[in-house]
Each structure stands twice: as C-alpha cells, then as structure tokens.
C-alpha cells in the first residue's frame, strides 16, 4: 500500500513539474532547462562517486565530448542533431570504457588523476584545433527542433532527465547495484564474495560517462553555441558541489543539489564571480561536516525524531 501511494505522489509531482513552465516566463523556463541539465550531470556523476566510490574529474569533459561530437557532426557533415546526440553519447561511452579499462584495475586514485589529465588535454585540443572547434569563440550549432521554443526544449530535457534518473535507479536497485555498494564499502571483501571489482567499476564509469555525453550533447544544441565552458573544470566543480551538497550516494541528493544550486546561482549572479567562491566554501563545509549532504542531514534528523518518539511512546 505504502509503495503504491508513494508512486502516486511521485507521478503527481512530476506532472505538476511538467505543467510548471506554462506559468513561467522565458527566463525562468531557461533556469528550469539548465537545472535539468545539471540533474542529469549530477545524477550520473553520483552513480559513479556515490555508489561505487570512484571520483572522476572528467565528467564535464565527457559532456564536452558529447557536445562537440554532436556539434561538429552537425556543422561539418550536416548530420541530424538527434543522430548527433546519439553519436555523442556513444563516443563518450567509448572514451569512458577505454579510460576505465586503463585505470580502474590500478585503483581509484589513478582514475581521478587520469580523468583530470583527460579534461586538461581536451581543453588543449579544443583550443588548438581552432579551425574545427572555433576555440573560445564557440561553435555555432543548429538546434534540435526547427522552430526554437523554450517550452519544447523543456520537455526534451525533462524526458532526458527522467531517462537518466530511470537508468540510475534501475542500476542501483538491480543486482548489480548491490555489487556497486559492496565494492564501495570494501573491495577486498567484495572480491572474496565473487564480485569482479574491475568489471563493476568499468561498467559504472562507462554508463556514467555516456549519460554525461548525452547531457552535454543536448545542452550544446540548446545553447546553440558550444564553448570550452562546457568541459571546464569550473563546470566539473559545480556538478561535484551539487552532488556533495545535495547528498552523495543518495538518489534524491543530486536532484536537490542541482535545482538548489542552479536557482541560487541565478539569484547571486549579480555578485559576479563570488558565486564560485561561495559554492566552494559551502561545499567544503558540507563535505567536511555533513558528508552525506542535505539528504544525510534530513535522514539523521528523521531518525532522531523517530527515536525520540519511540522513547516517548515507551512506558
């Protein structure tokens, strides 16, 4: 009964959210679309960091791979942007798979180092191959739909975010999700129980990278201009902060973090570059004192309340 009620509530919430942009102006619709992009980024990064304990610093870079692959295909070869998005997703998956095989048998630190390196190299390539990528000027790309409409983009991004969340949900609740968490908790014990640790990690990293690639490709065709800002370390930092502040390793955490920080950053945009610093300090404090983020604080509070109630009910 309880599970069914929960499902109804969830459906109602999604429906209400889907109706929301009709009541909003273009600017606020834009904020929602950008937030949905960050939901995809944070949820897929969380799949890797939160559920398998591997920290990739190349998540924004994979979004960049998706965006540039799809954009360049559209501009140079006239490929349909939807096919471009599929190609960008696939390319990000291939890069993720190869980097994963290369580093993950060596341990987590190597993945962090190599993905950071990958992200730097991607920047160098983008800046050097000016003829193709237009460097920091940005590459103008066609949109996903013939007639530009924020409302239509909102529904495309909503659908993509729901697909991303469904993939993540399915993986963590399938049998493989148990393996993810076992590896994160204690990889030696996991191996002793028959878990192929390297395979589990490569799988999580590949899926996570592919989802970032898809998010990036869609985002590029929404902005209509692809710049090195998409695969930048600032972007990576934002995704990481959203996940950490929302709640690493929880399903709702990245969603809360993505909406919270994106909306907040629009409001404090007036203060210029201070918002990176402000987010950084908040993320630092949360990561240090509440490593499970807002969701962790909420769960802790509820557990204490239930405990207090149980104690109160006892004679």
Q: Summarize as ranges the residues that interact with other proteins (CB under 8 A).
A: 49, 53-55, 57, 102-103, 106, 108-110, 112-114, 116-118, 120-121, 124-125, 127-128, 173, 175, 178-179, 181-182, 184-186, 188-197, 233-234, 237, 240-241, 244, 273-274, 276-277, 280-281, 283-284, 287-288, 291
Least Å from the CB of residue 190 to other proteins: 7
Least Å from the CB of residue 274 to other proteins: 7
Specify the residue, 97 or 237, whose C-beta has the smaller distance to other proteins: 237
DSSP letter at 225 equals E
Least Å from the CB of residue 84 to other proteins: 26
Sign of the Cα torsion 102, 103, 107, 108 reads: negative
Q: How far apart are CA 278 and CA 112, in angstroms?
A: 24
Q: How far apart are CA 147 and CA 205, in angstroms?
A: 36
Least Å from the CB of residue 148 to other proteins: 33
Specify the residue, 125 or 307, whose C-beta has the smaller distance to other proteins: 125
Q: How far apart are CA 239 and CA 118, in angstroms?
A: 17
Least Å from the CB of residue 49 to other proteins: 7
Specify the residue, 145 or 189, whose C-beta has the smaller distance to other proteins: 189
Specify the residue, 70 or 243, whose C-beta has the smaller distance to other proteins: 243
SS (H, E, C) 131-182: HHHCHHHCEECCCCCCCCCHHHHHHHHHHHHHHHHHHHHHHHHCHHHHHHHH
Specify the residue, 84 or 100, whose C-beta has the smaller distance to other proteins: 100
Using CA atoms in the order 112, 48, 216, 291, what is the torsion angle rounded to 10 degrees?
Answer: -80
């Amino acid at each position: 009964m309880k599970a069914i009620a929960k499902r109804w509530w969830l459906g109602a919430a999604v429906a209400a959210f889907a109706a929301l942009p009709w009541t909003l102006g273009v600017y606020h619709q834009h904020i929602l679309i950008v937030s949905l992009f960050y939901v995809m980024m944070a949820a897929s990064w969380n799949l890797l960091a939160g559920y398998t304990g591997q920290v990739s610093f190349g998540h924004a870079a994979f979004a960049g791979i998706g965006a540039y692959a799809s954009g360049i295909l559209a501009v140079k070869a006239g490929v349909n942007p939807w096919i471009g998005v599929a190609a960008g997703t696939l390319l990000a998956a291939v890069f993720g798979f190869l980097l994963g095989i290369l580093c993950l048998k060596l341990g987590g630190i190597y993945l962090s180092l190599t993905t950071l390196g990958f992200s730097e190299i991607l920047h160098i390539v983008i800046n050097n191959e000016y003829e193709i990528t237009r460097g920091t000027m940005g590459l103008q790309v066609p949109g996903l739909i013939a007639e530009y409409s924020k409302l239509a983009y909102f529904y495309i991004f909503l659908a993509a975010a729901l697909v991303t969340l469904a993939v993540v949900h399915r993986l963590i609740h399938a049998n493989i999700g148990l393996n993810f968490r076992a590896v994160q908790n204690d990889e030696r014990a996991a191996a002793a129980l028959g878990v192929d640790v390297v395979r589990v990690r490569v799988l999580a990293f590949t899926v996570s990278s592919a989802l970032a690639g898809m998010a990036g490709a869609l985002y590029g065709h929404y902005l209509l201009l692809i710049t090195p800002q998409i695969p930048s370390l600032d972007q990576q930092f934002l995704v990481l902060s959203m996940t950490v502040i929302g709640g690493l390793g929880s399903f709702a955490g990245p969603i809360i973090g993505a909406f919270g920080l994106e909306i907040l950053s629009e409001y404090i945009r007036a203060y210029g570059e201070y918002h990176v610093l402000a987010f950084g300090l908040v993320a630092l404090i949360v990561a240090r004192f509440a490593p499970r983020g807002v969701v962790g604080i909420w769960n802790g509070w509820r557990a204490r309340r239930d405990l207090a109630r149980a104690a109160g009910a006892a004679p």
